[in-house]
Structure 1
């Protein structure tokens, strides 16, 4: 073999090694997605730190809207994010039947499985929607249920409602709620905004109620009252890690790793973590690290 041939062979071998090394590096990179509110920012950071401790390189892409992060998961731009069972049931799979928490999980696991998405073990953290009111407000002091809230709107009471930007447009949000309870809040009474700002606005009297999330840390901190969903409109929203099947097939250890967290989370834990960020003003990174340390991970 000539010197030139040997040199060409050596270059080819080196190139193959570089390509193989690059492929291996890419295979060990996991893209973690997340939505744009406190609980999702916390759980995305927990996932990032956890996977990094297991040797993965993690690209975190949080702060996305619900439909955007779901589309990113389906098209491969995101490998894993934590979704809520009720959101997948109604928003993505268009199921309007009222199902038990277990049936909700099984249904979305089945339907999303057909799309190459794997739902791992769900947590006990149920971040369902919940309307909250403050004390000492004549417009809401007598309200105990969502039927009471609907009756107040129908009687012409101008109850100003704070919501996320998505909630008024969601079938599992204000659209479906108004249909089920038979009322219209009126555009002039709905204020889409960041939930953190909404809690401040409720506390200082600029809002009368918030379409909140049941695991929000400010609910207990501000001593707010939850209105009972007496017609059972809102489904179960179990916070659950969802992974692309091809990623899980390549890294089966992800199942055990992520479920070590999901099986430990409950409402009280998520309320505490959310409160540490929103009330105690700790950083997302500090809260995530503290939680992982507390569970020995």
Structure 2
């Protein structure tokens, strides 16, 4: 992933962003149902007269979080435009910085490694503290409280295959690759190119993945491909609901290579400063989103076929955050 702000992003992203916003945001602009009604969040914050454009990256978890933000803001009286599914990390980040969206959910690890280009390994508390200081000062981005789940990178194997081959850790995966035995490693495009992705993993675990043993797939295809044996090892997100649904085994990152990816609502500073009480709106939501909850919500979309909007609003209503 390219650092921000970079010259390549300044020249390439605007054109890509225009296409992505039209393609990804058109569903939300067309409607999609009634506004969320007031629940327990509304007495905390009155956002009447405020307007927000809410965006997200282009995978299920991000779109669920986007719909959570939309419903929460609506329930407090705000006018909201749905721009969920903007695109990948770089495009969505640029949409925030350029003012095309007001807010989205970002991950501490992504910002730390890819936007700030940091290589230091720090506890997530310290990472978030530095992000709050530096990202506001340098880029006008405000970071709120983090949710209680870690959407870090993980490698999975079909459960029965893992038991048969005694694969339990990423060190086991590295040893298997070094042995030359058959079996492909499937990764998504972003992981294959990120500074904190595949290249660093090979250095950390001391193996070299031959090009003919690597398959680059859309993330959504990796789960089933691994369950079906097309991929022996698949790179996935730790909170995805398809992991338990398909009987996949997560390999332990025994050398602690992958950093923490806590999800945090981020806002343009100029938008946030007009109504800083919006932080109080999101505080109970981030407190309620733990690892198990996020994996269950993801599973309702990725494995259950429900829409991110329906899943988000059902969960918020179950918690009493919005009206049922």
Residue 28 (structure 2) aligns with = none
Q: Provide Cα deviations, 1:40-89, integer angstroms capped at 9, x if missing partner.
A: 01110111121122222222222210011111111211211101101111
Per-residue CA deviations over 1:86-136 (Å, capped at 9, x if unaligned) read 111101111111111212211222221212111101111110111111133
Equivalent residue number for residue 110 of structure 1:
133
Query: Do structure 1's residue 195 and structure 2's residue 219 form an aligned pair?
Result: yes
Query: What residue number does 1:247 align with?
Result: 271
Name the structure 1 match of 2:5.
Answer: none
With over 3 angstroms needed to count, the CA separation of the structure-2 counterparts of 1:140 and 1:246, relative to structure 1, is farther
* 1:54–1:138 distance in 2 versus 1, CA, 3 Å: closer
Contact 2:157 2:227 in 1 (8 A): no
Are 1:217 and 2:241 matched, yes or no? Answer: yes
Please state whether the residue corresponding to 2:160 is helix, strand or coil: coil
Aligned to 1:125: 149
Task: Give 5+ residue unaligned stretches, structure 1.
Answer: 1-26
SS state of the match for residue 211, structure 1? strand
Question: In the TM superposition, what is the alpha-carbon distance from 1:139 to its structure 2 partner?
Answer: 10
Instruction: Specify which of 148, 159, 177 is matched with residue 172 of structure 2.
Output: 148
**Matches of 1:138 and 1:52 in 2, distance apart?**
46
Does structure 2 conserve the Cα–Cα contact (< 8 Å) formed by 1:79 and 1:244?
Answer: yes
CA contact (8 A) 2:146 2:263 kept: yes
Unaligned runs of 5+ in 2: 1-48
Whether the 8 Å CA contact 2:147–2:288 is kept in 1: the answer is yes
RMSD, matched Cα: 1.7
Q: In the alignment, what sits opposite 2:64?
A: 42
Q: Does 1:260 align with 2:284?
A: yes
What's the TM-score once normalised by structure 2's chain length? 0.80
Residues 51 and 271 from structure 1, CA distance in 2 versus in 1: closer, same or farther, beyond 3 angstroms? same
Aligned to 1:86: 109
* Paired residue secondary structure (2:288): coil
- SS of 2:166's equivalent? coil
Aligned ranges 1:25-104 → 2 under 5 Å: 28-63=50-85, 64-104=87-127
Contact 2:58 2:88 in 1 (8 A): yes
- Which residue in the other structure is 1:172 paired with? 196
Mapped to 1, the partners of 2:147 and 2:172 lie a distance apart of: 31
User: Which whole-Å CA distance do the structure 2 matches of 1:102 and 1:178 have between them?
Assistant: 27
In the alignment of these two chains, the number of paired residues is 271
State the distance in 2 between where 1:294 and 1:154 align.
49
Aligned equivalents of 2:182, 2:94: Cα separation in 1: 37
CA distance in structure 2 between the aligned counterparts of 1:291 and 1:38, rounded to whole angstroms: 15
TM-score of the pair, normalised by structure 1: 0.87
Q: Relative to structure 1, is the Cα distance of residues 256 and 130 closer, same or farther in structure 2, using a 3 angstrom cutoff? A: same
Contact 2:153 2:237 in 1 (8 A): yes
Per the TM alignment, residue 138 of structure 1 is displaced from its structure 2 partner at its CA by 7.4
Is 2:227–2:248's contact at 8 Å kept on the other side of the alignment? no
